[in-house]
């Protein structure tokens, strides 16, 4: 234009020499305002036309992007300061190699994450699991032989101090010589040959080697105590051989158990030493397996023998021993029976002596029998015809006692049958 100063010409930059070294590639960063980047995709009109919820979401996202972009320069500045020295020495080939390594590392991490997820999502059924083998392993390692348990096995070895028995555990059971049985055993090899099947009692559980201690003697003693308890409940009489004595009485053996008979329970307690090696009848006074206490009685055996001859409904003759307020004690040839005042007569009496006197011989029916407690219950009222006949005509009742006992016995048997029949009728009705 006229009147204007001409603009100076720009200087032409010098051309670089052909063999001059290249400078490292510089990266230019162009800063833009966050609002421009966010609103770049949408015009103001399009943004206002969006729904209210959509605009609210876009606004929240924009705020987040703004905060990130605001922080980016500060983070970038710190990174550039840390890496400026190393960056100058790196070439483009190094940058590409590091980028490839980063991608490979990311792929490996993603693959590992995928494997972890797949392992977590696998179920038990996908694993190799055999329930039968698992149970078999448990059973194989299950300890065999708890204290007090009865086990069966076969003899596998005989030593001088005991024998070894295979009872199914991971180690055989050991039975000491003194536990091989009751009494004295002279030869273990003859008594327990290899392969012999035996039944034993476990007396000690497994040690560190898995071996248990077993005993034939303890098992036989347990069976003996069970047998003795059953005999005592039934009131049985047993025969024993006297093998020792002391100041208080004599000793004996029964089924491998040591029994004691006090002098007061002997028929001839004054000369109890003379009973050695003799066999006598005894009955049980006390049976206590926990305390290993077995007390017998010769006198009680006589009573028990007498009880074995008696039965309910039987007519028996005896002598009045004593008179008590509650009834009469009657001697029945070695044993005593009780005739209770309620069982004397069906009539009304003012006194027991009005019917029977001490030393008088009477006949009565046995209505109760308890051998274990030594009790015998008697009844004379069942022999009466009309109520009170024993008071008015006692002689006639005693003379006809045998015939009247038959009728009375039938009535007793009927009383036993009727309650049972009533129970059956009730069960059928229900």
Tell me the mean pLDDT in the region 404-423. 68
Is residue 111 included in any domain, yes or no? no
Answer yes or no: are the C-beta atoms of 338 and 369 closer than 8 Å.
no
Segments forming the whole domain that contains residue 296? 235-304
- Greater model confidence, 279 or 71: 279
Is residue 7 included in any domain, yes or no? no
Q: Do residue 413 and residue 343 come from a single domain?
A: yes
Which letter does DSSP use for residue 50 in this model? S
- Please identify, among 220, 251, 273, the residue that sits at the C-terminal boundary of a domain: 220
Read off the CATH number of the domain in which 417 is found.
Answer: 2.40.50.140
Q: Is the pLDDT confidence value at 44 over 60?
A: no
Taken in order 206, 210, 215, 216, is the CA torsion positive or negative? positive
Q: Do residue 293 and residue 325 come from a single domain?
A: no
pLDDT at 168: 81
* Rounded Cα gap, residues 198 and 166, in angstroms: 10
Is residue 272 included in any domain, yes or no? yes
Task: pLDDT band for 428, please (50, 70, 90 cuts).
Answer: very low
Token representation of residue 332: 């029945």
Answer yes or no: are the C-beta atoms of 169 and 152 closer than 8 Å.
no
Token representation of residue 298: 């010769």
- Please identify, among 159, 190, 220, the residue that sits at the C-terminal boundary of a domain: 220
- Name every residue whose Cβ is closer than 8 Å to that of residue 158 and which is 6 or more positions away in sequence: 164, 188, 189, 192, 193, 194
- Cα first-last separation, the chain: 135
Number of domains in the chain: 3
Q: Is the pLDDT confidence value at 396 over 70?
A: yes
pLDDT at 239: 93
271-304: pLDDT as tens digits: 888 999 999 999 999 999 999 999 999 988 888 8
pLDDT at 164: 93
Is residue 241 included in any domain, yes or no? yes
Q: Is the pLDDT confidence value at 192 over 70?
A: yes
Is residue 182 included in any domain, yes or no? yes
Helix (H), strand (E) counts: the chain: 11, 15
Q: Do residue 245 and residue 322 come from a single domain?
A: no
pLDDT at 211: 84
Is residue 127 included in any domain, yes or no? no
179-188: pLDDT as tens digits: 998 878 888 8
Q: Is the pLDDT confidence value at 43 over 90?
A: no
Q: Provide the mean pLDDT of the chain.
A: 76
pLDDT at 412: 73
Task: pLDDT band for 171, please (50, 70, 90 cuts).
Answer: confident
Among 114-123, 371-380, 381-390, the range of highest mean pLDDT: 381-390
From residue 145, give the alpha-carbon distance in Å to each of 142, 150, 151, 211: 10, 8, 7, 9
Q: Do residue 393 and residue 328 come from a single domain?
A: yes
pTM given for the model: 0.50
Q: Do residue 323 and residue 269 come from a single domain?
A: no
If residue 230 lies in a helix (H) or strand (E), which one and from where to where? helix 216-234
- Greater model confidence, 195 or 91: 195
Q: Do residue 287 and residue 314 come from a single domain?
A: no
- Greater model confidence, 32 or 398: 398
Q: Do residue 406 and residue 318 come from a single domain?
A: yes
What is the residue whose two structure tokens read 């972890």?
116
Answer yes or no: are the C-beta atoms of 324 and 306 closer than 8 Å.
no
* Rounded Cα gap, residues 147 and 206, in angstroms: 9
Is residue 49 included in any domain, yes or no? no
- Greater model confidence, 388 or 65: 388
337-353: pLDDT as tens digits: 999 999 999 988 889 99
Tell me the mean pLDDT in the region 88-101. 53
């Amino acid at each position: 234009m006229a009147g204007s100063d001409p603009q100076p010409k720009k200087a032409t930059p010098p051309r670089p020499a052909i063999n001059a070294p290249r400078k490292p590639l510089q990266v230019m960063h162009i800063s833009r305002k966050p609002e421009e980047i966010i609103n770049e995709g949408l015009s103001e009109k399009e943004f206002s036309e969006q729904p209210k919820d959509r605009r609210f979401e876009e606004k929240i996202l924009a705020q987040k992007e703004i905060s990130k972009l605001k922080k980016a320069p500060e983070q970038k500045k710190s990174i550039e300061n840390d890496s400026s020295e190393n960056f100058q020495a790196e070439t483009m080939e190094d940058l590409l190699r590091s980028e490839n390594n980063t991608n490979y590392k990311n792929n490996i991490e993603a693959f590992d994450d995928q494997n972890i997820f797949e392992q977590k999502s696998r179920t038990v059924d996908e694993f190799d699991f055999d329930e039968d083998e698992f149970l078999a392993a448990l059973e194989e390692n299950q300890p065999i032989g708890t204290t007090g348990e009865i086990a069966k096995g076969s003899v596998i070895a005989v030593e001088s101090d005991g024998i070894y028995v295979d009872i199914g555990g991971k180690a055989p059971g050991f039975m000491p010589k003194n536990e091989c049985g009751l009494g004295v055993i002279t030869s273990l090899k003859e008594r327990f040959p290899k392969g012999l099947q035996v039944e034993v009692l476990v007396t000690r559980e497994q040690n560190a080697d898995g071996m248990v201690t077993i005993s034939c003697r303890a098992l036989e003693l347990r069976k003996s105590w069970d047998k003795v308890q059953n005999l005592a409940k039934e009131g049985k009489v047993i025969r024993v051989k006297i093998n020792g004595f002391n100041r208080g009485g004599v000793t004996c053996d029964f089924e491998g158990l040591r029994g004691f008979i006090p002098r007061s329970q002997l028929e001839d307690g004054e000369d109890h030493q003379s009973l050695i090696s003799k066999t006598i009848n005894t009955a049980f006074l006390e049976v206590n397996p926990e305390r290993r206490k077995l007390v017998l009685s010769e006198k009680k055996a006589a009573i028990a023998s007498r009880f074995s001859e008696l039965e309910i409904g039987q007519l028996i003759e005896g002598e009045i021993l004593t008179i008590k307020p509650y009834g009469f004690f009657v001697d029945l040839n070695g044993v005593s029976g009780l005739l209770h005042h309620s069982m004397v007569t069906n009539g009304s009496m003012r006194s027991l002596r009005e019917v029977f006197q001490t030393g008088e011989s009477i006949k009565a029916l046995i209505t109760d029998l308890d051998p274990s407690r030594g009790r015998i219950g008697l009844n004379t009222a069942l022999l009466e015809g009309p109520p009170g006949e024993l008071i008015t005509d006692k002689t006639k009742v005693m003379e006809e006692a045998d015939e009247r006992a038959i009728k009375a016995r039938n009535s007793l048997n009927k009383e036993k049958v009727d309650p049972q029949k009533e129970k059956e009728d009730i069960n059928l009705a229900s």
